């Protein structure tokens, strides 16, 4: 269990459709083998977004980018990877209020 957030800024296009960049941070428990350790992550992201035709306030976003992860185990474990931000190739569906 943990908490985190991402910030996205549109660099080309508009709120309805375009390309964005941003970053994020997260902290929480990471399950490793038979223990749970504190984990921390820093992310940079880039991607594109668009509104779903016919569905007001619903957007689809595809994001990916580099990630630095630190797991506070003994000894400490760090990793760096470039990947999508979800198992669905970085896809997320967002409802905007």
String of DSSP letters for 66-97: EEEEEEE-SS-EEEEEEEESSTTTTEEEEE--
Question: Dihedral of the CA atoms 35, 36, 37, 43 (nearest 10)?
Answer: 130
pLDDT tens, residue by residue, 9-58 = 999 999 889 999 999 999 998 886 778 888 888 999 999 999 999 998 89
Confidence (pLDDT) at 70: 84
Query: Which is more confidently placed, 79 or 16?
Result: 16
Query: Which is more confidently placed, 78 or 63?
Result: 63
* Backbone φ and ψ of 62, nearest 5°: -120, 120
């Amino acid at each position: 269990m943990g908490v985190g957030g991402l910030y996205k800024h549109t660099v080309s296009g508009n709120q309805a459709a375009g390309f964005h960049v941003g970053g994020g941070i997260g902290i929480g428990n990471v399950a490793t083998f038979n223990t749970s350790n504190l984990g921390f992550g820093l992310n940079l992201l880039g991607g594109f977004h668009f509104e779903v035709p016919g569905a007001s306030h619903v957007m689809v976003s595809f994001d990916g980018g580099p990630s630095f992860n630190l797991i506070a185990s003994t000894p400490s474990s760090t990793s760096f990877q470039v990947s999508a931000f979800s198992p669905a190739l970085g896809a997320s569906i967002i409802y905007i209020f």
